[in-house]
Amino acid sequence: MNLAGKFLSPLATAAFISGAFAQQPRQNVVFFINQTTNVGQSVFVLGGLPELGNNDMRYAVKLEPSAYPTWRATISLPANRSFTYRYVLRNDGAGQTSQSGNGTQIGSVIAATTIAAPILPTTKSILWTTNFANPILWWRQGTGAFQQKPLERYGTGRVRAGNVQEQIWFAWSIGLAAKSIEFYLTDAQGGNRSPTFGNFNTELDAVFVQDSKLFSYMPAPSVSVSKRDYFATSPPSMFSTNLNETRPYRVYLPRGYAEHPTRRYPVLYMHDGQNIFENGAFGTWNMQAPLETLTNGGQIREAIVVGVDNTANRLKDYLPPGDTISGSGAGWADKYARFLRDELKPLIDANYRTKTDAPNTLTMGSSMGGVVSLYLGWDFTNTFGKIGAMSGAWWTSTNFVARVKPIANFRDIRIYMDHGDSGTSSDDYTNSYNLRDALVGGDAARYPLEGTLRHVVGFGQQHNEAAWSARVPGALRFLLPPSDEPNEILTSVFNPAYDVNGDGKIDVEDIYAQHSTPKDLNGDGLMNAADVQRLTDFVRRNEVEEMTSGRRQ
């Protein structure tokens, strides 16, 4: 049953409003239900999509009660999905929502379908550079058995030093685009494999595999590993006129930075820099490990990370102006913001190949660092476009939070926020949820969940570096998804531009259209027979694949 404009049950409806996130089509769905509750209870929605908790009660999505007894939340869902969902009544005090048995279903299970929307490309493509003859791709989407697919040779390949047998191989028209694919690659006998252990799992629709690493572009023959561009015992520093002190900082460079001189990178500015890569006074985030793992696995973009060390003025630096902490005085996060914007960022941009606009400038921190991260996005939106607020100490900044909460307020930013539910303070559980409710509240939500806002509860986790290290991979996936930048494999190898006539398919009709309204399909700046030949070769491969796979009769 398609939900659009449909009445679902006497208790609940779900209305759609248009929306999109990243490159693949999504739809904002308003889930709401009228339900009275007792103190300590809330209404959640639970369904068969990751955004709805994957039917795991622990990860059901809490609705917000600003229009009580109506509970509601806008959630961004992928287009072209059929699923079921239900509403549940739960006890949701700190430490309770993690209980898998805590939930009483309200009403019946509802079947739904998000809007049908064209996706281009419609399938996935994988290239692999290897010296194995006749290699094989093993792949699946979901939990079924792995399917086997022989790879084809792509062009003449390339020879890397000491590897004269190496060729580039490819498989295309695999599965469905815009959905995660799990895969591995082997030799013709199904033995030697890449990766050696485990499997790749990525949402990239076209990917190049080299040395067991995934790329959305054709990488250099040799790609260096990521590195910390500083000495941990003596990181570089600069004097800030805004703060009237010298401030150390630490720069992390992604894999292949030296080998790809034309590539530019988003920059993530992190607070409490002493704890980000090295062991600080309270532990470490161990950031290099998840950055490398997620980048090499095709789950996040390559990015530069700048860890900004704190000083004895940490509380004032991270506290928004207008708020005061007993014993520390009024906050001057505005001074800290101007230091980042007017002094440190220009230095980083001048010395590294960065993308300087707000959508490619991120900031992240924990506790007071989470507070200042949201403040930077809220009051310095033109500079910081993506925000990671982990375990925000919102109790310290009541005046700032009061500025953020009104439904009429909006900033064009993407926000990741989280908190634990355990320990002496329950990681400010109640204040964090109240802020989250305000951000998602209203008939037309400012920040749809899983659209421009992700909210995560670390069940059983306290207010410490170990918890933030455990949750940071999810934050990075949300703030640095590969879909935020063009997939160069698609544009250079499996190009959606081949749909010359714009009908959502790539077939012989596009060859005719190319003759009548030619396009530059190979990127050489010319429109000639080479473009027709490239498109013809592509269509012929597609037809052979469809016939051999049984898709065409």
> What average pLDDT does the segment 341-359 reach?
98
Domain pair 12-113 / 124-204, same fold: yes
* Confidence tier at 544 by pLDDT (50, 70, 90): very low
* Confidence tier at 522 by pLDDT (50, 70, 90): low
CATH architecture for residues 124-204: Sandwich (2.60)
Indicate if the pLDDT at residue 457 is higher than 90.
Answer: yes
- Helix axes 529-548 and 508-516, enclosed angle (nearest 10): 170
> What average pLDDT does the segment 13-34 reach?
67
Kindly report whether the global pTM for this prediction surpasses the value 0.85: yes
Output the CA torsion sign for 140, 194, 476, 283.
positive
d(CA 462, CA 426): 7
> What average pLDDT does the segment 402-428 reach?
93
Domain 12-113, CATH 3.40.50.300 — does that match?
A: no
Indicate the domain borders of the chain: 12-113, 124-204, 237-484, 495-548
Indicate if the pLDDT at residue 547 is higher than 50.
Answer: no
Distant-in-sequence contacts of 50-55, Cβ < 8 A, 24+ apart: 51/75, 51/76, 51/77, 51/78, 51/449, 51/450, 52/77, 52/83, 52/85
pLDDT digits (tens, 9 = 90+) for 233-274: 999 999 999 999 999 999 999 999 999 999 999 999 999 999
> What's the start-to-end Cα distance of the chain, in Å?
30
Indicate if the pLDDT at residue 552 is higher than 50.
Answer: no
pLDDT digits (tens, 9 = 90+) for 109-129: 999 999 998 887 888 999 999
Task: Tell me what pLDDT residue 281 has.
Answer: 81
Task: Tell me what pLDDT residue 2 has.
Answer: 36
Quick check: bond before 266 cis, omega within 30?
no
> What average pLDDT does the segment 158-177 reach?
80
pLDDT digits (tens, 9 = 90+) for 473-505: 999 999 999 999 999 998 777 766 777 887 756
Burial of 114 (0-12, 13-18, 19+ CB in 10 A): buried
Indicate if the pLDDT at residue 18 is higher than 80.
Answer: no
- Helix axes 288-296 and 465-479, enclosed angle (nearest 10): 30
154 or 302, which is more confident: 302
In 10 A of CB 173, how many CB atoms?
18
In 10 A of CB 412, how many CB atoms?
11
Indicate if the pLDDT at residue 89 is higher than 90.
Answer: yes
> What average pLDDT does the segment 459-464 reach?
92
Q: What is the mean pLDDT of the chain?
A: 88
Query: Which of the residue ranges 19-33, 169-183, 200-214, 328-342 would you say has the lowest mean pLDDT?
Result: 19-33
Output the CA torsion sign for 538, 540, 545, 551.
positive
User: What residue type is assigned to position 268 of the chain?
Assistant: L
Proportion of the chain above pLDDT 70, given as a percent: 89
Best CA proximity match to 353, nearest among 425, 282, 254, 498: 254
Task: Tell me what pLDDT residue 19 has.
Answer: 37
Domain 237-484, CATH 3.40.190.10 — does that match?
A: no
> What average pLDDT does the segment 532-545 reach?
69
